[in-house]
Structure 1
Amino acid sequence: MLVTISCTRPVGAAWPATDLGYLLHKNPSRRQTFEQSYGVAHVLYPEASDERCTAALLLEIDPVRLVRGKSKGTPDFSLGQYVNDRPYAASSLLSVAISTVFGTALHGRCAQRPELAGTALDLRIELPAVPCKGGPESAERVFAPLGWTVAATPLPLDPAFPEWGDSHYVRLELTGTLRLAEALTHLYVLLPVLDGSKHYWLDTAEIDKLLRFGEGWLTAHPEREWITRRYLTRRHTLVRTALARLAELDDQDPEELGALEHDFDDEEPGTETTVPQAVESGERGPSLAVLRRAAVYRALLAAGASRVLDLGCGQGALLLELAADRALTEIVGVDVSMRELKIAARRVRRLPEWQARRVTVRQGALTYTDASLRGYDAAVLLEVIEHVDDTRLKALEQAVFGAAAPGAVVVTTPNSEFNVRYDGLDAGAFRHSDHRFEWTRAEFADWAHRVGATHGYAVRFEPVGPEDAEVGASTQMAVFTRKNNDDDAAKGAA
């Protein structure tokens, strides 16, 4: 198994092409060997001059090591575990080698030449054999949107018998001007995707790897759903979670990113239909996430709010939109997840100073009372309550409606009746793996009226998104207004 990475010195550059060795942390003047759990990895430089430098990563795979320790009773114990293409074709094993042998470069670090780590280089990557059942078109679809010029040449089943046709392997050549770290992350994620399988145990850590190494390019990739499914080898629970997290990163709905996936066998990129259509015209408008935030913003304007809480703010999509309105003098985002808050804070810092100074993010659990949250004009629970266990929902009600007691509370949640309109979603299944419940319109109304009566709020309801004549809209929204506010307003008018 072989991959070569070549760097050509740009015209007028002061540094030689052999500085590629600094980025890879591998000296071009000698060969290095690294033991792997499945064989041995070698790094050598077949070419190293000031004008052009090529680094080669060569893997010697030991099939016996891959199955050592497995009993005859396991599904992996078969002749196919010993006689296969793993020693020759690029796969997840090569990705593992890239992460262990070129780990520093993969993460974009270079202590000796930090400026070079951030420089786009003229690169050429060659892989003699890559599994790609969709043929050259699949390789083009996944690599070309990332800035690569792709040359994928089908390999014959047997050169001696051309009449047998081509195999499902291609010779892959990629050329482009990218940072080395970007190039390596593309290989790390997409080689297992083209192969369609992984040769090690998958758990939830694979989701973190996918999002970490796909940061900056996966959310915008036109084949992101297909890439996600193939990277996670179609493990439904993992795929749903990964697509939901991608949706949050891209400010979209899990539905919009194909989180309601079904079984895909050997489908190729661009062939699946992932977005359910609820509008009779079939025309696709703004995403449901955009419509939700717009509906919440209108409700806040109607309530005359100037100081707003976004409870369960996640990565801050609503915060960013609210910050653009100068009438909102204070906007506070609260979430229990430090990871989400760090992302939200980073996004807020990118805002113009006049917007950023009015936004604060802080950690807090919505099921515990917090005296500092009292006195705000309005609070928002945007797609939050369905993530709370039934046993903790009353605690959230008390913390928000009882203790914080803002003038208005805006709550959105999925309408479970609409789920029948999502292709691939089994009966009784939820839209998101982390949902604890999804209510019908009647169930949501019963809950809202009970909460309003208990804590002194009037409530009105509004559908969000295109309405279906039979099952309503995909999202339902309740707007709670504290009754003493209404009474004070009436007295003032009198």
Structure 2
Amino acid sequence: MLLTVSTTARPATDLGYLLFKHPDRAQSFAIASGTAHVFYPQADESVCTAALLLEVDPITLAKSRPGSSYVDDRPYASGSLMAVAIGSVFRTAMNGRCDARPELAEQAIPLVVHLPAVAHQGDADLAERLFAPLGWQVETTPVPLDPAFPAWGDSRFLDLRLTGRLRLADALRHLYVLLPVLDDTKHYWVGEDEVAKLVRAGGDWLPGHPERDLVSRRYLAHQRGYVRDALTQLSELDGTLPEEQAPSHRPLAALRAEAVVAALHEVGARRVLDLGCGGGALLERLVADTAFTEILGTDVSAGALDAAQRRLAKLPDRARSRVSLRHSSLTYTDPELAGFDAAVLMEVVEHVDPARLPALERVVFGVARPRHVVVTTPNVEYNPLLGQAEHRHPDHRFEWTRAQFQEWAGAVAARTGYTVRFGPVGPVDPDLGPATQLAVFSTEEA
């Protein structure tokens, strides 16, 4: 099976630095399923093409899968075997490292990825649905069963060509995750470690992907426990709940972020705390708005902060200088949180045990004590319209009705010297209320 990656970035031969494979040499690598060869069919200043040719030993492959036949399409069609080869042979590039020329790894470059035979199970538009949201122009051509007998129709294989302007590391991660997803199978046993692989390779782009659930199910061989773990970790990175989609087809995560930014503008906040920032989705929006001059994101999860750091690392230096990250818990005193104009708790309080809410109240409204606090939380009454019988997220300790949220917020305001007002976020049902609830606390005594 064959994969080619081409670029017209000048000088195009810099692709060799990115892949850590010299354009003037053909190289071979032993991998578990056979031998991988890397060579360059074309390498000059204007165009450079790197090829990964994978020769699979069908006997070794059959022995690894009891009951398999020696005659199989697996050695010839790109799927999980090619994904494993990419992860092995191009690991340094996939991790975004280029020791010889570090600046190259951070640059988006014009790329054309071609796979002449890709295993495909699903609707005809599946490849488009998977790759197009990531910035690729997708061309697919069905491979006929036999060109000499067109009446036989097409096979289940595709000729796949992707064109886009991306970082090479991102392109390789897309292939690593999505090739097995297109095929909906893997050539090896899927265990618990596959969850970590998915989150590691997809953490920067999968949380906000419209086919996130499908990708997770197929990548993890439809094993419910693993899928649930992966979706939980991905949602923690981006603040997006796995099954949460507004009837308007705009993700509630996007609607929430817009409402929060609007509330911050309304109160005139310049220095903002994002408490429980997760993977940095809101931080990225705040940094993009020059009205906010200083932004601090905190989270109790080191993994979430790592993901946020990777997200922010892609920003220009001037934008990145306005934001910082801090490892901090909302239930323990942290004096470094004091002195900000506003704090945001976007979909955070419901992750705190009810018994720890008084501690959160003390830290946020007592120690940090910004002039304004913006809180969003799910409206449990709306859940049936999202297809949720219970909580929207397996890590939610509770979800409040409108009356419960207003009772809690009103009591907090009365105890701490704040006023509070409420508003809806997302679609509003005349009987069940909004999908998400918002409260804005304000005080003159900060």
TM-score relative to the length of structure 1: 0.69
SS at the partner of 2:392?
coil
Task: Report what 1:241 is aligned to.
Answer: 232
Letter in 1 for 2:34: V
Tell me how far apart the structure 2 counterparts of residues 439 and 456 of structure 1 sit (CA, whole Å).
23
Task: Report what 1:317 is aligned to.
Answer: 282
Q: Does 1:209 align with 2:197?
A: no
Shift of 1:96: 0.7
From 137, 142, 150, the counterpart of 2:139 = 150
Tell me how far apart the structure 1 counterparts of residues 333 and 76 of structure 2 sit (CA, whole Å).
60
Q: Does 1:288 align with 2:255?
A: yes
Task: Report what 2:31 is aligned to.
Answer: 35
SS at the partner of 1:241?
helix
Tell me how far apart the structure 1 counterparts of residues 314 and 160 of structure 2 sit (CA, whole Å).
41
From 54, 60, 68, the counterpart of 1:58 = 54
Tell me how far apart the structure 2 counterparts of residues 452 and 112 of structure 1 sit (CA, whole Å).
56
2:246–2:252 Cα contact (<8 Å) kept: no
Task: Report what 1:271 is aligned to.
Answer: none
Shift of 1:135: 6.6
Tell me how far apart the structure 1 counterparts of residues 323 and 40 of structure 2 sit (CA, whole Å).
55
From 475, 482, 485, the counterpart of 2:436 = 475
Bigger radius of gyration among the two: 1
In structure 2, stretches of 5+ residues that fail to align are none
Task: Report what 2:401 is aligned to.
Answer: 440
Shift of 1:160: 7.7
451 and 131 in structure 1: CA distance in 2 versus 1, 3 angstrom threshold: same
SS at the partner of 1:397?
helix
Shift of 1:55: 3.2
Task: Report what 1:72 is aligned to.
Answer: none
1:154–1:166 Cα contact (<8 Å) kept: yes
Tell me how far apart the structure 2 counterparts of residues 295 and 9 of structure 1 sit (CA, whole Å).
42
Tell me how far apart the structure 2 counterparts of residues 101 and 218 of structure 1 sit (CA, whole Å).
23
Identity of aligned residues (%): 41
Task: Report what 1:392 is aligned to.
Answer: 356
In structure 1, stretches of 5+ residues that fail to align are 69-75, 262-274, 487-494
Deviations 1:424-471 (A, max 9, x none): x2x11x223332211112222333344345445554433333421111
Tell me how far apart the structure 1 counterparts of residues 364 and 68 of structure 2 sit (CA, whole Å).
59
Tell me how far apart the structure 1 counterparts of residues 282 and 196 of structure 2 sit (CA, whole Å).
25
Instruction: After TM superposition, list the pairs within 5 Å mapping 1:9-408 onto structure 2.
Output: 20=16, 23-25=19-21, 29=25, 32-36=28-32, 39-43=33-37, 45=39, 47=41, 55-62=51-58, 79-80=67-68, 84-111=72-99, 120=109, 123=112, 125-127=114-116, 129-134=117-122, 137-143=125-131, 146-148=135-137, 150-156=139-145, 163-173=151-161, 181=169, 183-198=171-186, 199-203=188-192, 204-212=195-203, 215=204, 226-234=214-222, 235=224, 236-238=227-229, 240-241=231-232, 244=235, 247-248=238-239, 253-254=240-241, 259-260=242-243, 275-277=245-247, 287-294=254-261, 296-297=263-264, 300-301=267-268, 309-314=273-278, 315=280, 317=282, 321=286, 324=289, 332-341=296-305, 343=308, 347=312, 350=315, 361-374=325-338, 378-408=342-372
Q: Does 1:431 align with 2:380?
A: no
Instruction: After TM superposition, list the pairs within 5 Å mapping 1:448-467 onto structure 2.
Output: 448-467=409-428
1:228–1:243 Cα contact (<8 Å) kept: no
1:25–1:104 Cα contact (<8 Å) kept: no
Compute the RMSD of aligned alpha carbons: 4.6
Query: Which one is further off, 450-459 or 94-103?
Result: 450-459
Query: Which one is further off, 195-204 or 382-391?
Result: 195-204
Shift of 1:419: 0.7
